[in-house]
Amino acid sequence: MKILISGASGFVGKEALRGFTGKGYELRALTRDVKKIEREFAKDASIDWQQIPAMDDEVAWGRALHEVDIVVHLAARVHVMRDHAADPLREFRKANVAGTEHLARLAAKHGVKRLVYVSTVKVNGEATSGGARYSETDVQPLQDSYSISKREAEQALLGVASETGLEVVIVRPPLVYGAEVKGHFIQMLRVLSRGIPLPLASVRNLRSLIYVKNLVDALIVCATHTAAVGQTYLVSDGEDISTPDLLRRLGAEMGHPARLVPFPPSLLKLLARLIGKSGQVERLLGSLQVDSGKIRSELNWTPPYSLQQGLKATSEWYRNAHL
């Protein structure tokens, strides 16, 4: 079985290459920087490396999709903290909606059987409360350009599936962490390593996370299980954690205990609004929980690694790479 992975040089993409090759699948990897990823994987002969073609290059796309059975679509314009685009939503739609639909139509045209699309829990919403967990059918109004584009991409894929018979599976992860993680998670690791005090001891929230190896394992199941066709799945490690507990566990694994001090969360939110950092602070203070029961029951999937194992591996990577 031949599997094409788009966005193969990204954080999740590289782990997906390792995971799928470890299961014996024949891989074709699409990336914007073939030379860099080839060096990292020592030109693994089991992987066919290819540059992502221009959107209008039908011949190159034909080569990329030739004899492919399954596409795992990871490539995307991701959420950025400082977006300098004049019209961010337009740019997100161009990459995440038009690009995804274009790939799906070409895949169907070239006989690809299934496309697994990695979306985001942000399609469901930004926060939960009162111990509630998002299910796959929960939908909240969206204002963030990234989440809007991902929801529209999901809808476009379902339209292509209806028209062409292409099997589509949608996976919505919450925050993904692991070796080579970026964004807010690595910022937490940096703060811990420097021993900076954090006013978060009074926070009482719960958030779902997923270790990157658990996500890849779920993608492998979604790529191959007959019951996954046409379904959308939320995935997580299965153990929700508060921000203070997350920092304490990471600090303990790194050998740099978290220095947490009490401070009223309501005042933190007020200060965040005053300095224009509400979104970043809310991710530390608010809850976002998902119910991954559907994929567990329908596909008999369970995460192979515990939350603690994932945090330990991530901390070890950071300690070895940065300390």
146 part of the active site: yes
- Rounded CA-CA distance 168/41 in Å is 29
Selection from 151, 73, 140, 71 nearest residue 107 by Cα: 71
**Coil, strand or helix: which one is 90?**
helix
Instruction: Please give the structure tokens belonging to residue 120.
Output: 């985001």
Distance (Å, whole) CA 319 – CA 303: 25
Instruction: Indicate which residue of 146, 211, 305, 318 is catalytic.
Output: 146
Q: Angle at the Cα of 180 (from 283 to 253), degrees rounded to 5?
A: 75
State how far the Cα of 194 lies from the Cα of 140, in Å rounded to an integer.
38
Residues 6 or more apart from 210 whose CB is under 8 A from it? Answer: 173, 174, 175, 176, 177, 218, 235, 236, 237, 303
C-beta neighbour count of 142 within 10 angstroms: 18
- Helix, strand and coil content of the chain, in percent to the nearest 5, comes to 45, 15, 40
CA pair distance 1, 281, nearest whole angstrom: 45
Hey, which residues are catalytic here? 146
